[in-house]
Amino acid sequence: ERGGFPHYMLKEIYEQPQTLKNCMSGRVNVEGTNITLSGIIDYKDKFINARRIIIIACGTSWHAGLIGEYLFEEFCRIPVEVEYASEFRYRNPVIYEDDVVIAISQSGETADSLAAIELARKAGAFVYGVCNVIGSSIPRNTDSGSYTHCGHEIGVASTKAFTAQVTVLTMMALAIAKEKNTIEESRYLDLIKELQNIPAKIEKILEHDDKIKQLSKIFTYAQNFIYLGRGYSYPIALEGALKLKEISYIHAEGYPAAEMKHGPIALIDNEMPIVAIGTNNNIYDKVVSNIQEIKARKGRVIAIINEGDEDIKKMADHYIEIPATEECLDPLLSCIPLQLLAYHIAVNKNRDVDMPRNLAKSVTVE
Ligand code: F6R
C-alpha cells in the first residue's frame, strides 16, 4: 500500500505532482484562463468587502497561512493577520463582522482551530475552511470552504497536504483579485499558466532526490540547523525547519534571513549548517549578501538555488537546483528539496519517519 516506497512520507512527497493536479482540477478551467472555486462563488461579496482576512491554523498549516498572507496582500490588497489558533482563542481578539476568517487544517479536527472558528462565528465573521479530510469537523462548522483534495495523508509529517493548501490559497487569492479588480488581466493569465506548470517542475525537482540523499549523509550528525529565507521563502524556512525537527529530532530554527544580524548570527560557526533559500526573486541580492555574512563566519551553507545561478553556487558549500518560477509560486517548489532533506536525514538516523515520537496525526486535544 506504500506503492513500493519505504515510507508513506516518501510516497506522499512523490505524489505531489499528481495531488496538485487533482487540487486544481475543475477549478482551473480546461483552457487555463480562469479559476473558479465553488466555495467562493456564492460568497464573493464577503471577500470583496472584507475589511480584513484573519487566517487561523496550527503547525504546518500555519506556515501555509503565512504564504496566504503574502498572496492575499499582494494580489487582493486586503490586510491579513495570521494567527496560531491556540493564541487567538484565548486572547479575546478583536473580530469584526466584515472580517473573513480562513481556517486551514489538514485533518479538519484540530481542537484549537475548531475553538477559534467557534469564537469567530460568534463574533459574526464569515468563516471559510481549507481542509483535506472530507466531512471532518471544520468543514462542518464553517460557512463555506475549499477542500485540498490531496488524498489521505498518512505520514505524520505533513507534505502533500501543505502544498495543496498553498495551491488552494493561491487559487483563492487569484480568484478574489479578479473579482476585486486588483490584478491585471495579463498578470492573472500568466499566473494561472505558470501555476499549471508547477506539477511538472516538481517532477524535475524529484529527479534530484539521489543528490539530496547523498548530501543528507554529510549532515546526519549535525546538532543544529538554521533555515533562512526572505519574502515568500520565509515561511518555507520555517516549514523546512519544522520538517527536520519533527522527524529527525535535530534542533532546527527557521528565520527571515535579515533577522540573523539581530541575534541568531551569534550561533554561526563552522559546525552550523545553514539552509538558505536563494531562489530568484526581487530580494535576491539581499539573500546573496546574507549568505556572504554567513560564509564570513564559516557557516556551512546548503543553498536552494535556481538552475543556472552561478553566483550563489560559488559561495555555497552545497547547492540544490530547482526550476525558476514566479516568485509567488516559488514556495511550491522550494519546499520539496527541504521535505526530501529532512526525510533522508531522519532515515539515516533510523528514525520512525511516519510516526515520530510524541506526535499524533491530528491534535484533537488542546
Ligand atoms: C507538521 C504537522 C503539524 C500539523 C498541525 C495542524 O508536519 O503535521 O504541525 O500541521 O498539527 O494540523 P491540521 O492541519 O490537521 O490542523
Which of 106, 169, 239, 351 has the most ligand 1 atoms within 8 A of CB, as the residue to mutate? 106
Residues with CB under 6 A from ligand 1: 58-61, 105-107, 110, 113, 157-158, 242, 246, 362-363
Which of 110, 166, 239 has the most ligand 1 atoms within 8 A of CB, as the residue to mutate? 110
Closest atom of ligand 1 to CA, residue 60? 10
Q: pLDDT (tens digit, 0 to 9) for every residue of the chain, 366 residues total?
A: 788 999 999 999 999 999 999 999 999 999 999 999 999 999 999 999 999 999 999 999 999 999 999 999 999 999 999 999 999 999 999 999 999 999 999 999 999 999 999 999 999 999 999 999 999 999 999 999 999 999 999 999 999 999 999 999 999 999 999 999 999 999 999 999 999 999 999 999 999 999 999 999 999 999 999 999 999 999 999 999 999 999 999 999 999 999 998 999 999 999 999 999 999 877 888 889 999 999 999 999 999 999 999 999 999 999 999 999 999 999 999 999 999 999 999 999 999 999 898 888 888 888
CA of 126 to the centre of ligand 1 (A): 23
Closest atom of ligand 1 to CA, residue 138? 16
Q: What ipTM score was computed for the predicted complex, to two decimals?
A: 0.98
Distance CA 172, CA 112 (A): 24
Is 295 an annotated catalytic residue? no
Q: Order of strands, edge to edge, in the sheet holding 318-322?
A: 251-256, 224-229, 273-277, 300-306, 318-322
CA of 262 to the centre of ligand 1 (A): 29
Give the closest residue (by CA) to ligand 1 atom 4.
59
CA of 149 to the centre of ligand 1 (A): 16
CA of 165 to the centre of ligand 1 (A): 12
Closest atom of ligand 1 to CA, residue 131? 14
pTM (predicted TM-score)? 0.97
Q: Judging by beta carbons within 10 Å of its beta carbon (0-12, 13-18, 19+), is residue 266 exposed, middle or buried? A: exposed
**Cell numbers linked to 138:** 471544520
Report the candidate in 129, 162, 303 with the shortest Cα–Cα distance to residue 229: 303
Task: Single out the catalytic residue among 44, 180, 213, 361.
Answer: 361
Residue that has been written with the C-alpha cell 491556540 in this structure: 86
